[in-house]
Amino acid sequence: MKILFSKNQINQTFEVVERKGVGHPDTLSDHLAEYLSVQYSNFTINKFGVILHHNFDKVGLLGGKSSVKFGSGKLTSPIRVLINGRASFSFGGENFDVWQMLVDWTKKFLVNKLPNINPEIDIVCINNLSTASSPGQQKDNASKSARNFWFQPRSLEDLPELKQPFSNDTSVGVGFAPYSKLETFVLNIEDTLNDFEYKKNNIWIGSDIKIMGAREGENFYITMCVPQIADYVPDAETYLRNLSKVKNDINVIALQLGINNLELNVNTRDSVEKNEFYLTATGSSIESGDEGLVGRGNRVNRLITPNRIMCIEGAAGKNPIYHIGKVYHLFANNLANKIYEKFGLENAISVISQSGRDLNDPWIISIETTEELGNNIKKDIEIFIKNEINNIKGITKDILLFKYPIA
> What length is written for the chain?
407
Q: How far is CA 264 from CA 73, 123, 207, 211, in A?
A: 28, 36, 19, 11
What top-level class would CATH report for the domain 2-10+171-178+297-399? alpha beta
Fold of domain 25-133: GMP Synthetase; Chain A, domain 3 (3.30.300)
φ, ψ (nearest 5 deg) of residue 215: -145, 135
Alpha helix (H) ranges present in 114-233? 181-193, 196-201
Per-residue pLDDT of the chain (407 residues; tens, 9 = 90+): 999 999 986 667 899 999 999 999 999 999 999 999 999 999 999 999 999 999 999 999 999 999 999 999 999 999 999 999 999 999 999 999 999 999 999 999 999 999 889 999 999 999 999 887 655 455 554 555 567 899 999 999 999 988 888 888 999 999 999 999 999 999 999 999 999 999 999 999 999 999 999 999 999 999 999 999 999 999 999 999 999 999 999 999 999 999 999 999 999 999 999 999 999 999 999 999 899 999 999 999 999 999 999 998 999 999 999 899 999 999 999 999 999 999 999 999 999 999 999 999 999 999 999 989 999 999 999 999 999 999 998 999 999 999 999 99
CATH 3.30.300.10: which residues of the chain?
Answer: 25-133
Whether residue 339 contacts residue 367, with contact meaning beta carbons closer than 8 Å, is answered with yes
Predicted local distance difference test score (pLDDT) of residue 147: 73
**Helix 375-389, helix 324-343: angle, nearest 10:** 140
- DSSP structure class, residue 94: E
Instruction: Please list the residues that pair with 276 across neighbouring strands.
Output: 271
CATH 3.30.300.280: which residues of the chain?
Answer: 2-10+171-178+297-399
φ, ψ (nearest 5 deg) of residue 336: -60, -45
Predicted local distance difference test score (pLDDT) of residue 2: 94
CA distance 405 to 38: 12
Q: Which of 24, 110, 42 is nearest to 402 (CA)?
A: 42
Quick one: CA dihedral 290, 296, 301, 305, positive or negative? Answer: negative
Q: How far is CA 208 from CA 20, 225, 279, 290, 368, in A?
A: 7, 8, 11, 11, 35
Q: Which of 226, 162, 161 is nearest to 21 (CA)?
A: 226
φ, ψ (nearest 5 deg) of residue 284: -140, 145
φ, ψ (nearest 5 deg) of residue 280: -135, 165
Domain 181-288 has CATH 3.30.300.340: yes
